[in-house]
Structure 1
Amino acid sequence: MIRGLRAVAAAAALAMITPGGALGASAEILRFDDLEGWATDDHAQALSVFLETCPDLDPVDWGPLCALAQARPAAKSFFEIFFRPVLIGGGEPALFTGYFEPELEGARHPGGRFRTPLYRKPPELPEGEAWVSRAELEDQGLLQGRGLEIAWVDDPVEAFFLQIQGSGRIRLRDGTAIRVGYGGSNGHKYQSIGAELVRRGIYQPHQVSAQVIRNWVKRNPLDGRNLLRHNPSFVFFRVVRGVPAEKGPLGAMNRSISPMRTVAVDPAFTPLGAPVWIEKAGKDPLRRLMIAQDTGSAIKGPQRADIFYGTGDAAGRKAGHVRDPGRMVVLLPIDKALALVPGG
């Protein structure tokens, strides 16, 4: 996931949403009774996650609600009294995917099996424009020998997936760990290697998952390397300090995110920091109140969301199989909901 955005995007995003406006997204106010499973969710847990980021929201629009939330009211009543569920872009097919915080084995210095570096952003990286592609970076060796390495890991495939996730933990041989977060990119658009495997006729769409891709690349080292280079996007990292080990990685609002309560959204349609009701279908249905605390380069559209599954391999296995339909409903403060849907 691409992180590092500021919470001021929340207010700007809401201002962009107009029924039939420039983004062409419809908006409909629903009742809480319309939300399947609403009555049985753990609203107190959702309120705790909301409190992680609500102090960073626009004080005019969200300040009074955040102050009320900090008093720890009855959570279900709090959301029902002060918010309205708004279905944005309900005419579009929804797509839910999952992401996680990887844990990789690594070392502070190269040697043995630790040969794949994770890089900091180079100082000449231009802001807001495309730089050289992944393949060009590798072929020209533009990053090597410059002291940009944060650590070396033992698996180039896992390093590639770490770039897709945008953050992770590197477990060192001395028992300590380095936490890394998104530090920038080369400005190229992400190209799905799973979709490329489907295009080549190697797999059918329903067969593709992160684990399937990992296994194929490892079984086919040369073709696998070329497959990874199909994605021109290259992500740089930064060392994340000051985040307790028990807390989640930093999301787009520069606060720790929470497993199964944080969702990544498109901030052009969903305000960052807003509560979001999830109705995910598929093998493991999910009906849950989450908080929009993250973004992603592949998360585009009003009904597109990425669910944070947690840290480590188990979370990664669960997240890697999620590609499900459903519905996403944003909870907006009453005045904002009515301004978005006049007469709603």
Structure 2
Amino acid sequence: MKNQLSFVLITSFLWLTACTTGSISPTPPPTQSDESVVPSQLPEKTLAKSIHKRVQWSALTGWSSDDLLPAWQAFMQSCRVLSKQLMWQENCRIAASLQHPSNSTIKYFFETHFIPYQIINTDNTAEGLITGYYEPLLKGSRTSSKQYRFPIYAAPDELLTIELGEAYPELKDLRLRGRLNGRKVVPYYSRAEIMNNPKLLDGYELFWVEDEVELFFLHVQGSGRIVFDNGEVMKIGFADQNGYPYNSIGKLLVQRGELPLEQASMQGIKQWGRQNPSKLAELLQKNARYVFFRELPSDLSGPIGALGVPLTAGRSIAIDPLSIPQGVPVFLSTTWPNTNKPLNRLMIAQDVGGAIKGGVRADFFWGFGHEAGNQAGKMKQAGNMWILMPKEYQPVVLTQQ
């Protein structure tokens, strides 16, 4: 009977498009999605979507020449969470004892207390896709008007979250979203349903913005800032989402022959949307995923990532938590957007994303503003990744020793 019930729940899980997640309370919600797994809840072993291959430090392309200082504060932010794990406590304690460390001191710290593991895809390849994201700025208002017509919503009270693992341990870390329809839990409203019937979310409007394409990409980025006519700026971040998987509208435009592949960047999609206003709503609705937001304190140094700490521009990445544990240092070897110029640097895995799935896969956080958006929109590079783990770490699967 239990197996039958589990099958029903798994079937419902697929139907309702559940997300892999762990509770991050009382830390703030993530920027991009809630498909996060708190490090303290991760098994200390190789995860489902990658192989962790132990290597020598010399295997890390560009390690010896990287300026590690910009990544140090991001790592210290991670230690606020990682230090709750036994495996990380001593290393985070030592890190906290280093007052104003030099680049050489930081390098010695990692090489003495950590072991690098190359991330290998499950098909035994070592290369993957590195994209970018950023914190956009939108013009908006606290009240709707002819200019400001498109609402940013807070998370609605009727949006339900069901933790399957609480009843069925074999479904640990699986979460459903939905709403009640009588006595049944049904899928929450899709983007199309929300866009076509705004009354569904009456009373949950936080702000209104003037550009529907920019609003869509705010949903993709997961955090941003709203500037009002009086110059006031409000920071907003991810609060929740409706439970549907992310679907790329850029890929869809290429499939339809509306855009060539080389123009299917964020910038290219925005330009297409402004040139084709009559087709825009239908296209946006093809991505059923819908994101809800909340106001953030104005003094935050950066948007809050899935780890629950502020992101650091140029040093934080979003990863798949089923491949790489949240919070850990990751050395990334890739190239600058649309170039062959090497971009090799220590990053910290502090966020997740609905489109960030697989082993060697990362989203590079560029920061806030126009130039950050320009770099993020162009970034679609090949890359390699290594995680730096405490010596106590013992992955289950090792290959090619």
Give TM-score, length-normalised by structure 2.
0.79
* Pair 1:65 & 2:97 matched: no
Of 244, 249, 254 in structure 1, the residue corresponding to residue 299 of structure 2 is: 244
**Using the alignment, how far apart are the partners of 1:342 and 1:193 within structure 2?**
37
Structure 1, residues 107-163: CA drift from partner, whole Å, max 9, x if none? 11112411111001111112123312111112233435x321111111111011000
Checking the alignment, whether the CA contact within 8 Å between 2:34 and 2:352 is kept in structure 1 is no
Rate the CA distance shift 1:71–1:227 in 2: closer, same or farther, 3 A. same
Rate the CA distance shift 1:186–1:3 in 2: closer, same or farther, 3 A. closer
Q: Alpha-carbon deviation of 1:276?
A: 0.2
Checking the alignment, whether the CA contact within 8 Å between 1:3 and 1:251 is kept in structure 2 is no
Of 186, 190, 193 in structure 1, the residue corresponding to residue 242 of structure 2 is: 186
**Using the alignment, how far apart are the partners of 1:142 and 1:313 within structure 2?**
33
Amino acid at match of 1:17: T
Checking the alignment, whether the CA contact within 8 Å between 1:86 and 1:331 is kept in structure 2 is yes
Checking the alignment, whether the CA contact within 8 Å between 1:103 and 1:170 is kept in structure 2 is yes
**Using the alignment, how far apart are the partners of 1:158 and 1:169 within structure 2?**
12
- Hey, what does 2:166 align to over in structure 1? none
Of 386, 389, 397 in structure 2, the residue corresponding to residue 329 of structure 1 is: 386
- Hey, what does 1:108 align to over in structure 2? 142
**Using the alignment, how far apart are the partners of 2:91 and 2:304 within structure 1?**
23
Rate the CA distance shift 1:343–1:305 in 2: closer, same or farther, 3 A. closer
Aligned length: 336
- Hey, what does 1:304 align to over in structure 2? 361
**Using the alignment, how far apart are the partners of 2:314 and 2:397 within structure 1?**
28
Rate the CA distance shift 1:338–1:162 in 2: closer, same or farther, 3 A. closer
* Pair 1:75 & 2:106 matched: yes
**What SS class does the counterpart of residue 143 from structure 1 fall into?**
helix
Q: Which runs of 5+ in 1 are unaligned?
A: none
* Pair 1:131 & 2:188 matched: yes
**What SS class does the counterpart of residue 335 from structure 1 fall into?**
coil
* Pair 1:257 & 2:311 matched: yes
**What SS class does the counterpart of residue 15 from structure 1 fall into?**
coil
Amino acid at match of 1:26: I
* Pair 1:320 & 2:346 matched: no
Matches within 5 A, 1:1-344: 1-3=31-33, 9-15=38-44, 17=46, 23=48, 25-57=50-82, 58-72=84-98, 73=101, 74-90=105-121, 91-92=124-125, 93-127=127-161, 128-129=176-177, 130-144=187-201, 146-241=202-297, 243-244=298-299, 247-281=301-335, 283=339, 284-337=341-394, 341=398
Amino acid at match of 1:96: I
Rate the CA distance shift 1:264–1:317 in 2: closer, same or farther, 3 A. same
**Using the alignment, how far apart are the partners of 1:27 and 1:220 within structure 2?**
46
**Using the alignment, how far apart are the partners of 1:59 and 1:16 within structure 2?**
14
**What SS class does the counterpart of residue 336 from structure 1 fall into?**
coil
Cα RMSD between the aligned structures? Answer: 2.0
Rate the CA distance shift 1:302–1:11 in 2: closer, same or farther, 3 A. farther
Q: Alpha-carbon deviation of 1:9?
A: 2.1
**Using the alignment, how far apart are the partners of 2:86 and 2:44 within structure 1?**
13
**What SS class does the counterpart of residue 254 from structure 2 fall into?**
helix
**Using the alignment, how far apart are the partners of 2:221 and 2:334 within structure 1?**
21
**Using the alignment, how far apart are the partners of 1:119 and 1:49 within structure 2?**
30
**Using the alignment, how far apart are the partners of 2:358 and 2:57 within structure 1?**
23
Rate the CA distance shift 1:52–1:331 in 2: closer, same or farther, 3 A. same
**What SS class does the counterpart of residue 325 from structure 1 fall into?**
strand
**Using the alignment, how far apart are the partners of 2:399 and 2:380 within structure 1?**
34
